[in-house]
Amino acid sequence: MTQAELKTQINHFRNLISETECVEFKEAKTNFDTRKLGKYFSALANEANLKHQPAAWLLFGIKDKPVPRPIVGTTYRNNRADLHSLKAEIANKTTNRITFTEIHELTYPEGRVVAFQIPPAPKGIPIAWEGHYYGRDGEEIGALNLVEVETIRNQSNKVDWSAQIIPTATLQDLDPKAITKAREEYKEKNPRRATECDTWNDSTFLNKAKITIQGNITNTTILLLGKEEAVHFLNPAVAKISWILKDKNNVELDYEHFTVPFVLNSSEVFSRIRNLTYRYIKDNSLFPTEIKMYDAFVIREALHNCIAHQDYSLQGKITVVEKSDELVFSNLGAFLPQNVETVIEQDAPPEYYRNAFLADAMVNLNMIDTIGSGIKRMFLKQKERFFPMPDFDLSDANKVIVKIPGRIWDENYTKLLMSKTDLDLKTVVLLDRVQKGLPLKDIEIRFLKKQKLIEGRKPNLYISELVANVTGEKSDYIKLRGFKDEHYKKMILEYLEKYNTASKQDIEKLILDILPDILDEQKKANKVRNIIYAMSKKDQTIVNKGTTRYPKWQKV
């Protein structure tokens, strides 16, 4: 890695909204305890393994906040030889004498930065420092829990279900139409080999496309190309995709089940989805924009990911639920990258696939993307359409649920994307969480407020007035933010001036409908009570001429 490339990488880290488990910033202006450094080495190496990252980084001379993180410089081990002696000092006390990949020194106008490049723990070998395994939970360093230790240890024992050979299966168990389709997609994916592909017999083609192993039929072969009656070879694994149509009340209207060959039947599932036309009005236009509810790439990517990453040992089916305004895809098996943010940020293929042989075959048949950017492209497609982002529900450790919205949720959010097309995907994803009322970290809230994109207090956040002005939706902004209390008080006084008295119900009827939409009914009732209390006790502009239970308010 050149100095320029390294500085670009560090600049990316400095601009991350929050620290990750694989990047740590330290001022370390002069000294830093070597034992503590060893603990960080163990923790970051283990986290890089668990998060499927090519490296972890410990950066000296950079503060951890605010964003972008400022360079403050460090004089830690200024002598080059002294600095690089750390490789041996760390190796002497780590598992298998694992040490830094490299220790980089960089010079900035603000000062010197030392970048420790830490390799991920090798598959099957968690890294200990002085006999103890360390890990990270957010920004905190501590003992690596037993589950994570065993996760790393078991990596070397993994068996790729999709590569297992079925000794009793033959080419006669494959669907000829599926093989023809596979050839077409292979040539589309590999145009330079198209002419050569036409000269191969089926056995040669299947070997070249990495669907069979030396002519032997695998679980992948049956899954993608097998005849329907050949599905028994996969028992006890279940090779089934269920499409279910539901109405707005979640009542099932229709369903259909699909089995092998998936290279054909995934298209059948796609054809069952009623991709209706959605209409919305753009700013300064008298005519509606017409667009399909779902992008074809997004549907296929979500469906093919379910096939590629399903844990077939759990003996469950893949489901595609079509609702009135969203598609819900689900497959069994943990989400191996562990969080979607990592996938979007890194935009790189995972180090480990559950079904590596199947994934390779699907790449060769043009079903999934080899560079690992399919999920990020799903988000970008939704952004380009001004639609809400996909939602990944990872709450079940053995299941992944992906929801694809098929309509606009918040017009302010949509018009913001139309007017500010330069917003980066990371910011758009955070704004999407705001429109959906999902929680944000404090550092993420501060980031959006610094950009003047949101207002309000946690958890009641909403699009800011700046955005409302940009989008021309000031009325929507007022509905969310509400008026100043003085405005409501003035309305009550004008009412009393005209009608002399007002009951509690009269006042509620007067202002409840114009209180901020972001408040629920109970909070709106509390707001009315607080305004009346302030006017009677603090301002002394109104007085109760009735009883406590049945008040009759008049102007003083």
Burial class (CB in 10 A: 0-12, 13-18, 19+), 57: buried
Which whole-number Å values give the CA distances from 33 to 38, 139, 204, in the listed order?
9, 18, 60
Q: What per-residue string of b and e applies to 311-324 under the rule 16 or more CB within 10 Å gives b? A: bbeeebbbbbbbee
- 329 and 387 housed in the same domain: yes
Provide DSSP, 360-404. HHHHHTTSS-TTS-HHHHHHHHHHHTTPPPPEEE--STTEEEEEE
User: Within this chain, do residues 72 and 138 fall inside the same structural domain, yes or no?
Assistant: yes
CATH number at residue 31: 3.30.950.30
CATH of the domain at 250: 3.30.565.60
Statement to judge: residues 257 and 388 lie in one domain: yes
Residue 480 lies in a domain: no
Q: Which residues span the domain enclosing 431?
A: 411-474
Residue 347, domain member (yes or no): yes
Is the preceding omega at residue 350 within 30 degrees of 0, hence cis?
no
Confirm whether pTM is higher than 0.85: no
Do 135 and 17 reside in the same domain of the chain? yes
Residues 491 and 429 in one domain: no
Find the Cα–Cα–Cα–Cα dihedral 164, 170, 175, 178, rounded to 10°.
Answer: 50
pLDDT for the residue numbered 338: 65
The reported pLDDT for the residue numbered 286 is 47
Q: What is the pLDDT of residues 500-519, one digit of tens each?
A: 999 989 998 888 877 776 67
Specify whether 395 is located in the same domain as 248: yes
In the chain, helix, strand, coil percent, each to 5? Answer: 45, 20, 35
Same structural domain, 147 and 19: yes
Same domain? 41 vs 147: yes
Whether residues 39 and 150 share a domain: the answer is: yes
Give domain status of residue 214, yes or no: yes
Would you tell me the crossing angle of helices 356-364 and 296-309 to the nearest 10 degrees? Answer: 150
Asked, for residue 371, whether it belongs to a domain, the answer is yes
For a pLDDT cut of 70, what percent of the chain falls above it?
91
| Number of structural domains the chain divides into | 5
Q: Is residue 479 assigned to a domain?
A: no
Which of 60, 74, 63 is closest to 29 using CA atoms?
74
In a domain, 338, yes or no: yes
Do 312 and 388 share a domain, yes or no?
yes
What is the tens place of the pLDDT at every residue in 522-534?
A: 888 888 988 998 9
Tokens of 520: 């629920």
Residue 347, token pair as written in the block: 């935009």
Q: In what order do the strands lie in the sheet with 23-26?
A: 23-26, 56-60, 111-118, 102-108
pLDDT for position 346: 64
Residue 310 included in any domain? yes
**Strands 318-322, 241-246: pairing kind:** parallel
Helix axes of 425-435 and 442-450: crossing angle, nearest 10 degrees:
110
Select from 169, 201, 232 the last residue of a domain. Answer: 232
The total of other beta-carbon atoms located within 10 Å of residue 483's CB is: 14
Inside any domain, residue 226:
yes
Residue 135 and residue 61 share a domain:
yes
Domain end (from 207, 232, 257): 232
Give the residues across from 113 on adjacent strands: 106
Angle, helix 374-384 to helix 425-435, in steps of 10 degrees: 70
Give per-residue pLDDT as tens, 268-322.
999 999 998 877 655 555 455 678 999 999 999 999 999 999 999 899 999 999 9
Helix 374-384 vs helix 296-309: angle between axes, to the nearest 10 degrees? 160
Residue 70 and residue 201 in one domain: no
pLDDT in tens, the chain (556 residues): 788 889 999 999 998 877 678 999 999 988 899 999 999 999 999 999 888 788 999 999 999 888 899 999 999 999 999 999 999 999 999 998 999 999 999 999 999 999 999 999 998 899 999 999 999 876 778 999 888 888 888 877 678 899 999 999 999 999 999 999 999 999 999 999 999 999 999 999 999 999 999 999 999 999 999 999 999 999 999 999 999 999 989 999 999 999 999 999 999 999 999 998 877 655 555 455 678 999 999 999 999 999 999 999 899 999 999 999 999 999 999 887 767 877 777 655 565 678 989 998 999 999 987 555 788 889 999 998 889 999 999 888 789 999 999 988 877 787 778 777 888 898 999 999 998 888 898 899 999 988 888 888 888 888 775 555 554 445 555 555 556 778 889 889 988 988 899 998 999 888 887 777 667 788 888 889 889 989 998 889 999 999 988 899 999 8
Nearest Cα neighbor of 299 from 374, 395, 408, 187 is 374
Cβ-contact 499, 471 below 8 angstroms: no
φ, ψ of residue 456 in degrees (nearest 5): 95, 175
Supply φ then ψ for residue 422, to 5 degrees: -90, 0
Pair 327, 302: CB distance under 8 Å: yes
Domain finish residue from 121, 156, 191: 156
Greatest CA separation for the chain: 98
Contact by Cβ (8 Å): 186, 366: yes
